[in-house]
Amino acid sequence: MVSSFFTPPPAAATGLLALCGLICDFASCFSVPTSPAGGGRATTSTTIFADPISGYARDLLYQDQQDAMLRRALHEQHLLSRDGKIKELLAPKFAPAKPKSGTGFGGSASNKVNMDPSARMASEQAAMVRRDGVIRINNVISGVTADNLRDYVLDQQRIAAIETERDASTSRSYYGVENRRKGRCDLQLSLLREGFASYLGDDCHDDASDAAHRSTFALGDALREMLGNDGTLQRLYENLVTLDGELYELAAVITDVGSNRQMVHPDLPYQELAPLYVIFLALQDVTEGMGPTSFLLGTHTREANAIFASGDMAKKDEQLLRADCRLSTLRKGDAVLFDARTLHCGNANDERTRVLFNFSFRNPQVGGSLGYKGSIRPGYEGVLSLRGMVDALAAYGSGDENPFAKFK
């Protein structure tokens, strides 16, 4: 997810400039393509061309830009893997607490030894995220839930493809980015039990597998395992953003065989307080060939972001050469949680479709625009807090089959 503050590598425009010179006055045909030169998610493409021939120019611009981004991404890959294999991002092992005799749990929150184990674990995980910008957490949902959610997401993708083919203007409600990238999409998910079928009624391209999904609520089950009471991520998120944290993204990142490596990027412009904490959850094993996400540890800092944004390619290359890069090959049900300021990128997928469930919560202490538009259906923007999520999931646990029905 990268917004328009990223600039494409200089080579991106060269072929295009020549072309534009031939077919139209440069100033009148060339507006700003906000396609994310950082190579990540987010933002829209707003190039405006007035006539049909300019559509051809626009396509060439797009392709030119994509090619330049790929060249840069491959150069970055070379720099990051300078001495062979990149290390795997591993889940930390926290030493078990040794409660002082007679004190039991539930002591002062400042005394970690006496905290209850899940609060203590969340506090240690949060400290690690603040230090490294990223943490891997294994088994955040069960294998069965991951399987169900993957099937469901791929069905939703199929419906979105049919709908947007039929009416391109609906694209914004289904996809978080312009949907033209090779083998990659950000599918914005619905929280309703029947997903997109809820909006489409009889028109929903139903088949036996959709009908099967309606008897389950894979998304609700996955969210409950993570963010419900006693969920695997609930205490950690509470620690990072409090119960007032706002749900900022809700999507699936899907890459198919043939998708390219992204350029290294943070998701948003730097700010002092961490604005956003993002989850990528593996819905199947993610092997090296499937293009796991690379993370550059400790690059959520002001200094690292300043180099990234400097436009000084020599400095940026030096930064990558020195980076502590980790590859998030994951097992089904494992997740990474990261501070959105951390430099990262998805790798090329040469093996099998990779589906990552993706959501984030925004830090309520950070006001104003984040300079980055998250992948979330328009109706969910700014309406659901972590508290609201926990409450809805509690209602789901108590028998409410469609606990997010009030949010469209």
Ligand X SMILES: O=C(O)CCC(=O)C(=O)O
Q: Which is nearer to ligand X, 157 or 293 (CB)?
A: 293
Burial of 406 (0-12, 13-18, 19+ CB in 10 A): exposed
Total residues at interface with ligand X (CB under 6 A): 9
346 part of the interface to ligand X, by CB under 6 A? yes
Alpha-carbon radius of gyration of the chain: 22
Q: Which residues contact 387 (CB under 8 A, 6 or more apart)?
A: 243, 244
Residue from the set 29, 41, 299, 326 that interacts with ligand X by CB under 6 A = 41
Q: Which is nearer to ligand X, 8 or 346 (CB)?
A: 346
253 part of the interface to ligand X, by CB under 6 A? yes
Residue 176, number of CB atoms within 10 A of its CB:
26
Residue 171, number of CB atoms within 10 A of its CB:
16
316 part of the interface to ligand X, by CB under 6 A? no
373 part of the interface to ligand X, by CB under 6 A? no
Dist CA 262 CA 335 (whole Å): 20
293 part of the interface to ligand X, by CB under 6 A? yes
Q: Kindly state the smallest distance separating residue 29's Cβ from ligand X, in Å.
A: 29
Q: What is the DSSP string of 172-204?
A: HHHBSS-TTSTTEEEEEPP-STTTTHHHHGGGS
Q: Which is nearer to ligand X, 1 or 320 (CB)?
A: 1
Q: Three-class SS of residue 286?
A: strand
Residue type, 259: S
Residues 144-173 that bind ligand X (CB under 6 A): none
Q: Which is nearer to ligand X, 213 or 344 (CB)?
A: 344
Q: Which is nearer to ligand X, 241 or 253 (CB)?
A: 253
40 part of the interface to ligand X, by CB under 6 A? yes
Dist CA 299 CA 266 (whole Å): 9
C-alpha pair distances (Å), 389 with each of 150, 165, 197, 208, 400: 21, 33, 22, 30, 13
1 part of the interface to ligand X, by CB under 6 A? yes
296 part of the interface to ligand X, by CB under 6 A? no
Q: Which is nearer to ligand X, 54 or 293 (CB)?
A: 293
Q: Kindly state the smallest distance separating residue 277's Cβ from ligand X, in Å.
A: 14
Q: Three-class SS of residue 297?
A: coil
Q: Which is nearer to ligand X, 232 or 260 (CB)?
A: 260
Q: Kindly state the smallest distance separating residue 133's Cβ from ligand X, in Å.
A: 13
342 part of the interface to ligand X, by CB under 6 A? no
Q: Kindly state the smallest distance separating residue 30's Cβ from ligand X, in Å.
A: 26
Q: Which is nearer to ligand X, 33 or 38 (CB)?
A: 38
Q: Kindly state the smallest distance separating residue 262's Cβ from ligand X, in Å.
A: 6
The one-character DSSP state at 259 is P
Q: Kindly state the smallest distance separating residue 1's Cβ from ligand X, in Å.
A: 4
Dist CA 335 CA 236 (whole Å): 13
Q: Which is nearer to ligand X, 255 or 299 (CB)?
A: 255
Dist CA 87 CA 84 (whole Å): 9
Residue from the set 58, 150, 344, 362 that interacts with ligand X by CB under 6 A = 344
To the nearest 10°, the Cα dihedral for 183, 185, 191, 197? -60
136 part of the interface to ligand X, by CB under 6 A? no
Q: Kindly state the smallest distance separating residue 131's Cβ from ligand X, in Å.
A: 21
Dist CA 126 CA 30 (whole Å): 45
390 part of the interface to ligand X, by CB under 6 A? no
- Terminal Cα distance for the chain, rounded: 23
Q: Kindly state the smallest distance separating residue 92's Cβ from ligand X, in Å.
A: 21
Q: What is the DSSP string of 26-40?
A: HHHH-----S-TT-S
Residues 265-284 that bind ligand X (CB under 6 A): 267
Rule CB under 6 A: which residues touch ligand X? Answer: 1, 40-41, 253, 255, 267, 293, 344, 346
